Homo-oligomer: A and B are copies of this chain.
């Protein structure tokens, strides 16, 4: 079932992504090509302000030309452990520090062409500090009741895949733990 890479061509090296094209030999002996986006990996955080309320952020996403409602997230710095990145991004984007960060699950965002893996953490015991977003970020913090967030997924107002997966896993865990 595996594919054997017989040639790999670097196309682009960027700040967030690299692009390469691999020529592969398929299990049936034929050759084909795969376009692959290289990515360092990322984290997302579900910050629970209290038992009911998730801190979400609203930000413009140029790739899809829309303002999206998402959970806080960010790209790993080189060699940065995911939990360190989660603590950093949570404080930068929302202005809160968490007393506990619990790893929930990890997900590949678009494994058909992208390397990116994203690690999801549940943040609890939040304490207010100060929001300090990066120079090229502009985010608005929006508290949303978790049950309402699930409705916003079903009504199509939340459209970001990592956010949908993170919210529904959190909802499932919290309702089955009660």
Contacts and interface: CB of A to CB of B under 8 A. Distances in A.
A12 B12 CA distance: 9
A2 B33 CA distance: 36
B172 A113 contact: no
A92 to B, nearest CB: 15
Nearest to A35: B14
Interface in A92-136: 105-118, 135-136
Interface string A68-79: 101001010000
B161 A22 contact: no
A58 B64 CA distance: 29
Q: Which of A22, A24, A111, A171 has the most CB of B within 10 A?
A: A111
A11 interface: yes
Interface stretch (A45-53, A80-88, A152-160): A152-160
Number of copies: 2
Chain A contact patch, size range = 35 or more
Contacts of A117: 64, 159
B19 A12 contact: yes
Interface of A: 1-3, 5, 11-12, 14-17, 19, 21-22, 24, 26-28, 30, 32-37, 42, 58-64, 66-68, 70, 73, 75, 105-118, 135-136, 138, 140, 150, 153-154, 156, 159-162, 164-165, 168-169, 171-173
3 closest A-B pairs by CB: A168-B168, A32-B136, A61-B111
